[in-house]
Structure 1
Amino acid sequence: MEWFQIPLGPLQTNCYILAQENGKCLIVDPGEESKKLIDYIQNKKLQPEAVVLTHAHFDHIGAVDQVREHYSIPVYVHEKEADWLTDPALNGSQYFMGGQHIKGKPADHFFSSEGDIAVGSFTFAVFETPGHSPGSVSLYFKDHGVAVAGDALFKGSIGRTDLPGGDHQQLLNSIHNKLLVLPEETSVLPGHGPVTTVGDEMDGNPYLNGF
């Protein structure tokens, strides 16, 4: 499996394309700039099978409907954020986008618990990693040593917890109990900024010291 990081929108939210050798791919967190994203996928000659959301804040969902409709594919999100795609107050666009509200269609499928899941031709583990938002999840591709962490864990930092539904201690618990227990060489693909590893964050992330 290959993965490609595509920063999108004014907040440079990382969208990830996870692709198999046969060209099938998943789209994780298409935050904005749908044309740029679709052109990228077309140029790579990939065939999307689904959109998967680590959470449903506005900067991670802005291109969901355009991508879903272009490829006729389903959208997955945690059930605790089932209403966020359709509600600008819940997804934050009402407060942070200068009057530009994001109000799309509901997701097609909902994560309700942790564990292995099959989405199209992909199989991966879903970890509930709340704290940044109530329905935040991380996607772990064990055979490939990759964890897509959304806005839970960044290189040298952690997700903000001052938004509605955020909880600082819950986020620290999520990181320590779900992400830092993975093999140290695991690549952590964050929602913003550069890729890191579990080992690097265990050793050098100042927000995790003294937990």
Structure 2
Amino acid sequence: MSDTDVVCVTDAAETFTCNAYLVPGEVTTLVDAGAWDGIVDAVREHVGDIDRVVMTHQHGDHVAQLDAVCDAFDPDVYAYADHSCRTHAIEDGGTVQVGDEDCDVVYTPGHADDHVSFVSPTSLYSGDVVVHDDGAFDYGSFGRTDMAGQSRERLIESIRDLLDRLPEGVEHMYAGHGGVFHGDVRDVVETALERAEQREPKYPDG
């Protein structure tokens, strides 16, 4: 699979949503379902069907359209936490196929209690634990931790865990917000960790 095969199908959304990624291949996969009511039509512009949805976590901007996606495509749904659409529970240390690649499941809470990231030999699907750019920082940002149930300390631990389990040579990062990054993913994640460790508010005026 080349990086050009992965499509952010929520690019055209004018309402707040996460990035939802369509990954074609042996197991055509949607990473997160987003909150945009146009997602089903957007998926159908590229493929006739999807085999599975894998969820990084279940905040509303990632899961609001999951029911609609399931109604349209009847996919298997892989998620850490329970959901009415979930068909397969995933856990830290497990694997799940995304497109043509097997991804390791890394439990990465802090931003959300049920947050997981998916790591393949070439790609990182990081959800909201680490992003490339999001308006707060460019080249290495991290999920917000200022709301109830969130923890900066746990997020920092999660980013460290992610670095420990990130293979050498990962070149593509597909995060829940901001742009897709191609290059030295480890360096971006290390930069995010350094910023998170400073313990300063991510949005100081928020």
Same topology, TM > 0.5: yes
Within-5 A mapping of 1:184-195: 185-195=170-180
Bigger strand share: 1
Which amino acid in the other structure matches residue 114 of structure 1?
G
Q: Distance in 2 between matches of 1:77 and 1:9?
A: 26
State the secondary structure of the residue aligned to 1:163. Answer: coil
Q: Distance in 2 between matches of 1:113 and 1:181?
A: 11
Aligned to 2:153: 169
Which amino acid in the other structure matches residue 125 of structure 2?
V
Aligned to 1:148: 125
Q: Distance in 2 between matches of 1:107 and 1:29?
A: 12
Q: Distance in 2 between matches of 1:10 and 1:176?
A: 32
Return closer, same or farther for 1:140/1:201 CA change in 2, 3 Å cut-off: closer
Q: Distance in 1 between matches of 2:151 and 2:195?
A: 14
How high is the sequence identity, in percent, across the aligned residues? 26
> Is 1:33 equivalent to 2:36 in the alignment?
yes
Bigger helix share: 1
Determine which of 84, 90, 93 is the counterpart of 1:111: 90
State the secondary structure of the residue aligned to 1:30. Answer: coil
Following superposition, which runs of at least 4 residues in structure 1 exceed 6 angstroms of deviation? Answer: none
8 Å contact from structure 1 (residues 52, 75) kept in 2: yes
Which amino acid in the other structure matches residue 153 of structure 1?
V
Return closer, same or farther for 1:146/1:118 CA change in 2, 3 Å cut-off: closer
Determine which of 101, 107, 110 is the counterpart of 1:128: 107
Question: How well do the aligned residues superpose, as a CA RMSD in angstroms?
Answer: 2.6
What is the number of equivalent residue pairs in this alignment?
Answer: 183
Return closer, same or farther for 1:205/1:111 CA change in 2, 3 Å cut-off: closer
Determine which of 20, 25, 31 is the counterpart of 1:15: 20
Return closer, same or farther for 1:179/1:14 CA change in 2, 3 Å cut-off: farther
Aligned to 1:61: 63
State the secondary structure of the residue aligned to 1:48. Answer: coil
Which amino acid in the other structure matches residue 68 of structure 1?
C
Q: CA deviation at 1:168?
A: 0.7
TM-score normalised by the chain length of structure 2: 0.76
Moved more, 152-161 or 177-186: 177-186
